[in-house]
Structure 1
C-alpha cells in the first residue's frame, strides 16, 4: 500500500514539474528606465495563450520552446520573443514614436482591423461575473481576463487618438517638421476624453495653444530624451 502511495506521489510530482516547466515568467519594463509596465498584453502566437502583467510588471504565460511571444502595450512598440528556454525573462519595451503609431494605424485601415472579440472570445467569456460562481469573481484567470478587456478598450481609445491627432494634421497647423514635430506631438498628445468631447476646431485651438507653450520652453526642453538601445538580445526585431 505504501508503495502505491509513493508511486502516486511521484506521478503527481512529475506532472507538477512538467506543468511548471511549460510556464514562462518574467518582468516587463520601459527601456532605459526602471519603470515596470502594468497591463502589458502578452500572447503566444503559436498556442493563442494570453496573459497580462500585474501592477509590478510581472507576468507568467504557458508556453514552450519554439513558440513566439508578443508583448503589446499602448504607447509602446510591440516586442517579439522567440522562446529558446523557460528561464525568467526581462522584456524592455521602447516608447512608440509618432511615426510608428501612424504606420500602425494606416496598416490597420488597409488590412483587417484588430477585433479582440473575434480573436480572443475566451477573454470576454472568462471576464463575465456570475453571482453563484465565486471563481468568476476571485479566480486569477477571470481577474486577468477583466484586465485584458480594459487593455483592449485602452488600445481602441489610443488608436482613435492616432486617427485624429496625425502628423499631417498637426503639421498643417504648426511650422514643425521631422523629429521636432514628433517631439511636439509626444509632449502635447491630447487625451482620448478630449478627442471624444471636442471637434476639429477645438483641436486646432488646442494645438495652437500648445505650440505657444512649446515656444516658451528653453530649446533644450523641446526634445524628448532619447533612450539608449536595449541590451536585451532575447527579442526578435
Structure 2
C-alpha cells in the first residue's frame, strides 16, 4: 500500500513538472490595425524566461498557468497577460503618442544589465564553427534576436541619461508638453551620442531649439504613430 502511495506521489510530481514546462504560443498585433508586430520583447515575470516575436508577430515561450507575461516594444504601451490557460494567445498592443524614433522619453528607468539578468541568452546566441546546429537552431536564432534587442534597449537608456528632461530643461526655456514634444522631435541618435561630447550636445540642443521655435505652432505637436 505504501509502495502504491509512493508511486502515485511520484506520478503527480512528474505531471506537475511537465505542466510547468509547457510552451505557450501566440501572436502580437497592433491594436486597431491588426498589423503583426515583430521584435516584441516578452518576459515571464515569474521565471524570467524571455522570448521575442518573429517577423510575423508569432512567439513561443516556456511558461505555465498562473504566470504573468509582460510584452514590450518601442512605440507601444507595455501590456501584461495573466495566464489562466495555455491556449494560443492573441495579444494587442496599443501605440503611444511617441513618433519619429518611436521611443519613450524618460530618465528614471532602472539600470539594465542583460548579461547579468539573462546570461543564458548570451550563451545560446554563440555560434561555433564546428557545430552547425548553433547556426540554424530556432533557439539560437531567437537568442541572437534577443541579444540585438538588449543592445538596442541599452543604447536607448544611454540616450535617456544624456538627453534627460532635467538636463534639456536646464538649457531651453520649455516646460510641460512643449518640452516633451521638443525632446521627442529632436531626440539624438545613439551614433550622435557616441561621437560627440557634452559641449557638442549643448550646441545641438540650442540649435534644435531654434529650429523648433521657427516651426508653426501646429507643427510643434508630435502626431500619434497611427
Q: TM-score scaled by structure 2?
A: 0.78
Matched, 1:68 2:73: no
Structure-2 residue corresponding to 1:101: 106
1:35-61, Cα deviation, whole Å (9 max, x unpaired): 644322211122332211112333222
Q: Which runs of 5+ in 2 are unaligned?
A: 1-18
Structure-1 residue corresponding to 2:190: 192
Distance, in Å, in 1 between the alignment partners of 2:105 and 2:215 is: 26
Residues 160 and 33 of structure 1, relative CA distance in 2, 3 Å threshold: farther
Pairwise mapping of residues 213-228 of structure 1 onto structure 2 (< 5 A)?
213-226=211-224
Deviates more, 1:206-215 or 1:55-64: 55-64
Could you tell me whether the CA contact under 8 Å between 1:50 and 1:61 is conserved in 2? yes
Instruction: Let me know the Cα RMSD of the aligned residues.
Output: 2.7
Q: Which runs of 5+ in 1 are unaligned?
A: 1-17, 229-237
Residues 96 and 225 of structure 1, relative CA distance in 2, 3 Å threshold: closer
SS of the aligned residue for 1:132 comes to coil
Residues 121 and 156 of structure 1, relative CA distance in 2, 3 Å threshold: same
Structure-2 residue corresponding to 1:168: 166
Structure-2 residue corresponding to 1:205: 203
Deviation at 1:176, TM superposition (A): 1.0
Residues 219 and 198 of structure 1, relative CA distance in 2, 3 Å threshold: same
SS of the aligned residue for 2:66 comes to coil
Q: TM-score scaled by structure 1?
A: 0.75
Structure-1 residue corresponding to 2:91: 90
Distance, in Å, in 1 between the alignment partners of 2:79 and 2:53 is: 14
Q: How many aligned residue pairs are there? A: 203
